[in-house]
Amino acid sequence: MSYAFPDSDPRPPHRPRRGPLTVAVAASVAAALAGWLVWQAVADSGEGGTPGAAPSSQQRPSTGAGASASPAPSDQGTPDESADEDKNDDKATGTTSSAPAATGPLKGKVVVIDPGHNPGNFRHTAEINRLVDIGTNRKACDTTGTSTNSGYTEARFTLDVSRRLRTLLEKQGATVRFTQDGDRAWGPCVDERARIGNKAHADAVVSVHADGSAAGNRGFHVILPGSVKAGIADTRAIVGPSRELGERIAGNFVRATGSAPSNYVGNGTGLVVRRDLGGLNLSTVPKVFIECGNMRDSKDAALLTSGAWRQKAAQGISEGIVSFLRG
């Protein structure tokens, strides 16, 4: 997801919270800062790219609301150097859905996971380029997503992380639903992705992505819905809980993966507010996007193509969701 947009908001001051919630958020933020300091001490931050600028041949607008495609890859992608590890990890974690656990801290909770894009989108350009209403304007139904320089696709990445995430959440007792599981030829459109979470009365929705920014731009960020009241979009009721969900995920993602918050958006917070994404604008339940890293940076790509790291990413997102739902 490239960043050339006017809709990012500076991080607003937190409103006072009470009781256990205050303690939980403080712990999350403290842990995130500690994790970031550790990362700074042991890893190359990859500074030096132009913030927000993607290479001209790969630049694309916002994921989930009309990103232009990188060159069309095969639906399976070209495995990176970690292909053997991918196979072993996929066998270990499994990619099929299992019944929710009979008991667990998330029993009775519904989580919708939205794996960004679809491996078949590039074969259906007419369908995914169709414009849909996102409240503030009309945008493309969906996009192909990005890929690493060696061809590992974002759509493949998002499905893998999402399936690992489902397994972890179901072990906690949650009912987990997907917007797509590689089981349809293309899509769904961004408006349908939002409706799936709404109709499920989800307690939390997370859309999983990876970015396609310039080399040198590194790190993860969580995208939060801005306050929108336009046309069919009204996010005012979900802005607060969505921020809480995003903060919990960001703090736990740092701890689980060792990755730092983005060095090119979010001013080091790992949090970005946007009003131009249909998947957020049309949601009526708490929802965030997470960009797990930048596929166009070689150092981030080495992480994103590692099955072991993707398991850590799923763990961090899962722990954030559990923390949010348990309050």
The 10s digit of each residue's pLDDT in 271-308 is: 999 999 999 999 999 999 999 999 999 999 999 999 99
Q: Which residues pair with 241 in a beta bridge?
A: none
Mean pLDDT of the chain, nearest integer = 79
- Residue 327's pLDDT is 87
Name the token pair of 255: 């701890």
Could you give the number of structural domains in the chain? 1
Name the token pair of 221: 């960020």
Structural domain includes residue 8: no
Which among 246, 111, 208 is positioned nearest to 167, based on CA atoms? 111
For residues 304 and 157, is the Cβ–Cβ distance under 8 A? Answer: yes
Structural domain includes residue 47: no
Structural domain includes residue 213: yes
Residues contacting residue 302 through CB under 8 Å, at least 6 positions apart? 80, 82
Angle, helices 307-326/239-257, rounded to nearest 10 degrees: 140
Angle, helices 154-171/83-93, rounded to nearest 10 degrees: 30
For residues 95 and 87, is the Cβ–Cβ distance under 8 A? Answer: no
Name the token pair of 254: 């740092």
Structural domain includes residue 21: no
Structural domain includes residue 103: yes
For residues 106 and 94, is the Cβ–Cβ distance under 8 A? Answer: no
- pLDDT at position 164 over 80: yes
- pLDDT at position 157 over 50: yes
Residue 117 lies in domain: 53-74+84-326
Structural domain includes residue 6: no
Structural domain includes residue 31: no
Residue-wise pLDDT tens digits, 248-261: 999 999 999 999 99
Q: Which residues pair with 220 in a beta bridge?
A: 261
Check the CA dihedral 304-309-310-312 and report its sign: negative
Q: How confident is the model at residue 14 (pLDDT cuts 50, 70, 90)?
A: very low
* CATH of residue 92: 3.40.630.40
Average pLDDT over residues 21-29: 40
Residue-wise pLDDT tens digits, 95-119: 334 454 558 999 999 999 999 999 9
- Residue 103's pLDDT is 84
For residues 188 and 15, is the Cβ–Cβ distance under 8 A? Answer: no
Q: How confident is the model at residue 77 (pLDDT cuts 50, 70, 90)?
A: very low
Q: Which residues pair with 288 in a beta bridge?
A: 206
Structural domain includes residue 286: yes
Residue-wise pLDDT tens digits, 215-238: 999 999 999 999 999 999 999 999
